[in-house]
Amino acid sequence: MRSNMDPQTATEPQHSADISANTHEHWLDFFMRATKPETLVRMARSAVNKNAGNVQAIIAIRVAEDIRENQLINDGYTSLDFDYADQC
């Protein structure tokens, strides 16, 4: 069976999907599933943990999280709701 691994680096090859993870548009699309502050905070924490070594992705995650937070605040949640979710 032939492997897709790069023999030079012994890692899986990079795909365009990996690159898109560095954009806030990718993460905003992902975070649109969050309809409550608690869900958004949990999703963002998980995304940051999974991308711990990728600074560009972490920046994109934080930008998308802020955008989605503002959307949820416009929908009726308050910044206190997010403060509470951050403490859980």
Is 10 within a domain? no
Is 12 within a domain? no
Is 60 within a domain? yes
Q: What are phi and psi of 85, to 5 degrees?
A: -65, -35
Domain range enclosing 41: 17-87
Is 2 within a domain? no
**29-82 confidence digits (pLDDT tens):** 999 999 999 999 999 999 999 999 999 999 999 999 999 999 999 999 999 999
Angle 40-44-48 from CA coordinates, rounded to 5°: 175
Domain total for the chain? 1
Is 46 within a domain? yes
Is 63 within a domain? yes
Is 3 within a domain? no
